[in-house]
Each structure stands twice: as C-alpha cells, then as structure tokens.
Amino acid sequence: MIKVYSYSGCGTCRKALKWLDARGKKYELLAIRQTPPSKAELERMLEFYELRRLFNTSGRDYKELGLSAKLPSMSRAQALDLLSKNGNLVKRPFVLAERGGLVGFDEAAWAKTLG
C-alpha cells in the first residue's frame, strides 16, 4: 500500500494524486497538517533523501522559525522531532511505498519508484 501525506491546498499534491489516480494506484491519503509523518516514517525516508530535503523550505513555518540558520546545527533527532510535530514543515507530497519513498513530485522519479 502506498501512503501519501498531502495538503489539499497544494497544487503539487493535487498533481501527484492525479498521477496516481490515472495509473489506478491504490493509496492511503493522510492530511499532512493534521497527521504529520511519524518519527519512524521520517527515519525510513532518510534511506532515500538527506535530512534537509524532508523540509518544506519554501513554507511560512520554515521561514518564521528561521530554520535555514538553525537546521545545520540541529541534531538529527531534534530535526525529526520538529518534523513529526509540524506537518507544515514537511515537504509534500510525502510518500512511502513498499519499494521506496518520495518527497515532492517528479514524474520520472515517481514512475521509477511506483511503476
């Protein structure tokens, strides 16, 4: 099963969901703001992306918290704790599947990972 963390107001998320629907992919949809990925899910995503890539660096919360300056000195545990508590900070869509994980929407990467 594919698990998709998404935000309904995000155009990239809508595009990604449309891509999944067009290919008949079954997925579990979760509202990222209300239900951020767990620490375990974030840890798993680190198998595929570096820590900074998991952050929504263009988001308001990221900027208001001054994370561009703070992130380099944060421990991995601190960063994952922050992401697991604030879905606005997580790059979206955030997707976990049996064969991998994806953040953001890149059609070629999605095709490679999800088929």
- Contact between 37 and 5 (Cβ < 8 Å): yes
Q: What is the pLDDT of residue 1?
A: 87
Does residue 12 have a pLDDT over 90?
yes
Amino acid at 53: R
> What's phi and psi for 48, nearest 5 deg?
-115, -25
pLDDT tens string 71-91: 999 999 999 999 999 999 999
- What's phi and psi for 21, nearest 5 deg? -60, -40
Residue 55 DSSP SS3: strand
pLDDT at residue 112, as a whole number: 95
Instruction: Tell me if residue 10 falls in helix, strand or coil.
Output: coil
Residue pair 90/37 in contact (Cβ under 8 Å)? The answer is yes
Percentage of the chain lying above the pLDDT 90 cut: 97
pLDDT, average across residues 8-37: 97
34 dihedral zone (left: phi>0; alpha: psi -120 to 50; beta): alpha
Domains of the chain plus CATH, in order, are: 2-114 (3.40.30.10)
Which residue in this structure is represented by tokens 């999605």? 110
- The whole model's pTM is what? 0.94
